Structure 1
Amino acid sequence: MALVTAETRPLVLNTNQPGNVHWNTLYEISDIVPVSGIYRCEGCGHEITSNHPDRFPPQNKHQHPNNSKVLWRLVVMTQTKG
């Protein structure tokens, strides 16, 4: 779960993007990261930060003990510049 503290105030979160396809898409290992942000693994709940246009971690970097499929879901979109 993404965490924040009182020291990060004012916290600006924009939740007005219901039509954005990135929220409802599951991404696989080595897919290109469509938007920078925090992604949660659907199988185990582990979170990662990933930047566009990098790739999601390969299988040898994130594995499940039962070898179930690793699928990433966007939970926080960030506006990274670099």
Structure 2
Amino acid sequence: MAGYKNPAFIIKNNSPEYDKLYAPGISAPHAGIYRCNKCGHEIGIAQGHVLPPQGHPQHSAAMGAIQWQLAVYAIHNK
């Protein structure tokens, strides 16, 4: 689970982007922290970089296909 120290750096956001699931091997649509919906492993990734494959650590076949879910979205000020 993602953690933080300073609550001034995080805001509550109910964007539907947090509800979407992403397949391994696709480009991350947002910079941020993604969580594997099978094992809970989290990764930080830049927008456009490729989400890790099925073996990010290796999953058993019983776990089924993994999907990544956005946990923390990096909002870029323009």
TM-score range, shorter chain: 0.7 to 0.9
- Counterparts of 1:50-65 in structure 2, within 5 Å, are 50-65=45-60
Q: Which has the larger radius of gyration?
A: 1
The 8 Å contact of residues 27 and 51 in structure 2, kept in 1 or not, is answered as: yes
Q: CA RMSD in A?
A: 2.2
- Counterparts of 1:1-82 in structure 2, within 5 Å, are 1-5=1-5, 9=6, 11-16=8-13, 18=14, 20-66=15-61, 68-79=64-75
Query: How high is the TM-score relative to the length of structure 2?
Result: 0.78
Q: Distance in 1 between matches of 2:64 and 2:74?
A: 28
Query: How high is the TM-score relative to the length of structure 1?
Result: 0.75
The one-letter amino acid of 1:15's match is: K
Q: Distance in 2 between matches of 1:42 and 1:73?
A: 7
Aligned length: 76
Q: Name structure 2 gaps, 5 residues minimum.
A: none
Q: After the TM superposition, which parts of structure 1 deviate over 3 Å for at least 4 consecutive aligned residues?
A: none
Q: Name structure 1 gaps, 5 residues minimum.
A: none
Identity of aligned residues (%): 33
After superposition, the C-alpha distances for 1:21-52 in whole angstroms (9 at most, x for unaligned) are 32111000111100000011111111111111
